Amino acid sequence: MFYAGDNDLALGKTPEKVSADFQRFVALVHEEHPQTRSLFVSIKPSIKRRELIEEIRDTNSRIREFCDSRPELDYLDVHAPMQGEDGHPRKELFSRTVCTSAPPVTTCGPRCSVRIWEQPTPLL
């Protein structure tokens, strides 16, 4: 399981670079362990980083496309269930009593994970 990208984007990496880094990681893993299956967990939307939403979507799209091209890779979309109909992060998932985000640690309470995963999330 692999989750990465939101900190990279916040530090100025481009979607192209984040995607290339993931592809490099996959190549290194499969060079040593060719039978390894990998799961990329999409970059989540974030109220704190709403100015990066287009970069997040672009990065997720690039990595999803790469995962779709490789049978040993899976992609788990957590972004879609965490965004509202308006395309922005669902505020109820990020209230101070539920989730707090303070560098360098992000913690979420039970509502943050349980409520959005009541419906099965298919691997894509």
pLDDT number for residue 92: 78
Judge if pTM exceeds 0.85. no
List pLDDT tens digits, range 38-92.
Answer: 999 999 998 888 899 999 999 999 999 999 999 999 999 989 888 888 888 888 7
120-to-24, 35, 54, 111, 116 alpha-carbon distances in Å: 30, 27, 26, 16, 9
> Is residue 101 a contact partner of residue 93, using CB atoms and an 8 Å limit?
no
Q: Which pairs count as long-range contacts for 83-89, CB under 8 Å and 24+ apart, including other chains? A: 83/45, 87/53, 88/45, 88/47, 88/50, 88/53, 89/45, 89/46, 89/47, 89/50
Q: Which residue has the tokens 């390894």?
A: 36
Q: Which residue has the tokens 């880094």?
A: 21
Cα 75–53–42 angle (5° rounding)?
15
pLDDT band at 117 (very low <50, low <70, confident <90, very high): low
What token pair was written down for 47? Answer: 């109220």
Domains in the chain: ranges and CATH = 6-117 (3.40.50.1110)
Residue that wins the pLDDT comparison between 92 and 117: 92
Residue that wins the pLDDT comparison between 99 and 41: 41
Q: How confident is the prediction for the chain on average, in pLDDT?
A: 82
